[in-house]
A and B are shown apart, each in its own frame.
Chain A
């Protein structure tokens, strides 16, 4: 389904999704991030990219798995599976959209994660094609994506200036468009060509080049014992921001939080964790397979560009560039891959 939506009709469409929780980018505290769209507020889709990725809608930073208590001395567990309202997220950039099928693979597979899927099944992603790179660190095209990739999105909107070209990609996307059908107009002569022109232009903007993507896995494999990793990681402070902001990093911790020591009541909680923290792999004995910063940087890069490729035939990186832009010490995954490839 392809439609045209005049810019001023966007709010009208959103209002028709009144049984859904609607989110869209909002600018606050100097960054764009997703915020709940409240009734009567404007939606501004002039955003760059959000600081947080859309993975947060399916894999929140903190999540309770179950509550435990004791009744007559016996533990009683109550699972706290989420039951969210249908959720529609506007303004999802194609790089974040491409992250979702990768996350689906991780949380599905042999052991299906019910917490992830309770949210994922109710989530509709309304993408917005990038008319130009929003950051000097964008490299979506270097990892097989594009500024108007439909991968992982339910709807792709393209900004044509005074109006959006809106394409329903999945059943969920088409349903969301049909619910707002009164807001849409038909695609007229020239709209399609203009959309394609915008896409062509967006692809022609220079991005960070990554060289030969197919050669990277072997280059990483061969450089496993290279001192290069320690050299490139020497400024790393192990803060983990690269993984927390990444649309595909999914590592987590599980801990018990006690609410009442007297009754033994508490919660088992999942929280984001990441491979850049020193104790991430440390055994209880104190043995740590990745005890230094270099081996941890190597793990992050290898997971995305070697191990995930071996397992799933695709990179676990969509080129959003957040890990480069937000790294407090300037560690740059594109530069890292260039050095590894040239070593």
Chain B
């Protein structure tokens, strides 16, 4: 990190994967630091990404901390900055500030089963945890990954999911019926109840749209998961990333500093403004 907390480092896009198409398309960008001034990060942390002239957006770092060569970011085309990213080409330069926020306490989960529940582009913040857990496979019990998308063409990391099946149970779902769809049809919280993973010695990690998270947590509780066994991230609107601009303030926390990772037992003590 530079001394000036608002001055980004320069990154170069070295890879672009088109994850999904359409109006809310998702692309995954691999970014290197040409000035050799990159940074280490932990699972769950974010970075402020710049397209100079368009502005900055807080984006989850979607690559495992074990990957040192580049940082990966999966970005849905939504606004001015993200649209500029979607128009970018390999070799283009961007700005990066970070890493920001706290981390998933992966080391505390040694020996436990891990149940991941992602929805839409909300898979990106928990993807580094999945990748790191799989890389440290012997440290954990059963790993299950639930992921739901609107349709089969909206599933991100599709190729990686195929690889993931070698190390983890993968449960995919789409919201609406489709011909030839082999997975579950329906929303993610319903698929979770359908498969009913055991809460015994397990940790559940979820991220997705706020409404999905809400029902996933309700269902996890119905399955017997205690509040301390449930983790999520709340990526509120963020601008400064350093706990000053006030935008991501929830209760006494600036989420960009104290979050975005919370156990449900921590999060329920905050006002529900996320």
Contacts and interface: CB of A to CB of B under 8 A. Distances in A.
A287 B245 contact: no
A230 interface: no
A255 B55 contact: yes
A68 B209 CA distance: 34
> For chain B, which range describes its interface: under 10, 10 to 19, 20 to 34, or 35 or more residues?
35 or more
B251 interface: yes
Given A65-B6, A114-B3, A256 B93 contact: no
B56 interface: yes
A266 B53 contact: yes
Interface in B255-274: 257, 271, 273-274
A252 B6 contact: no
A77 B209 contact: no
Interface stretch (B25-33, B63-71, B188-196, B232-240): B232-240
B197 interface: no
A251 B4 contact: no
Contact of A252 (B237, B245, B250): B245
A181 to B, nearest CB: 38
B39 to A, nearest CB: 14
Interface stretch (A33-41, A43-51, A167-175, A275-283): A275-283
A273 B239 CA distance: 11
B245 to A, nearest CB: 5
B237 A111 contact: no
B6 A285 contact: no
B7 A66 contact: yes
B8 A273 contact: no
A252 B82 contact: no
Give the interface SS of chain A, mostly helix, strand, loop or mixed.
mixed
Contact of A113 (B8, B244, B251): B244
Contact of A290 (B6, B50, B273): B273
A253 B52 CA distance: 16
B4 A114 contact: yes
B6 A268 contact: yes
Contact of A307 (B242, B244, B252): B252
B227 to A, nearest CB: 19
A212 interface: no
Contacts of A284: 57, 78-79, 82, 237
Contacts of B236: 281, 283, 289
Interface in A300-343: 302-303, 306-307, 310-311
Contacts of B142: none
B244 A289 contact: no
Interface in A132-163: none
A280 B247 contact: yes
A258 interface: yes
Residue from the set A110, A266, A282, A310 with the largest chain B CB neighbour count within 10 Å: A110
A75 B78 contact: no
A208 interface: no
Nearest to B92: A73
B210 A287 contact: yes
A295 B240 contact: no
Interface string B41-72: 00000000010111111000000000000000
Given A68-B53, A252-B245, 9 more contacts: A65-B7, A75-B93, A77-B7, A77-B10, A110-B243, A256-B53, A281-B236, A302-B271, A310-B252
Across the A-B interface, give the 10 residue pairs with the lowest CB-CB distance, nearest first: A251-B246, A111-B242, A289-B273, A310-B252, A284-B78, A307-B252, A68-B52, A65-B6, A256-B55, A284-B79
Interface of A: 65-66, 68, 70, 73-75, 77, 79, 81, 106-107, 109-115, 224, 250-256, 258, 261, 264, 266, 268, 270, 273, 275, 280-285, 287, 289-290, 295, 299, 302-303, 306-307, 310-311
27 contacts: A66-B7, A70-B52, A74-B10, A110-B243, A110-B257, A111-B244, A113-B242, A114-B5, A252-B244, A254-B245, A256-B53, A256-B54, A264-B52, A266-B52, A268-B50, A281-B247, A284-B57, A284-B78, A285-B209, A289-B273, A290-B273, A303-B246, A306-B252, A307-B251, A307-B252, A310-B251, A311-B252
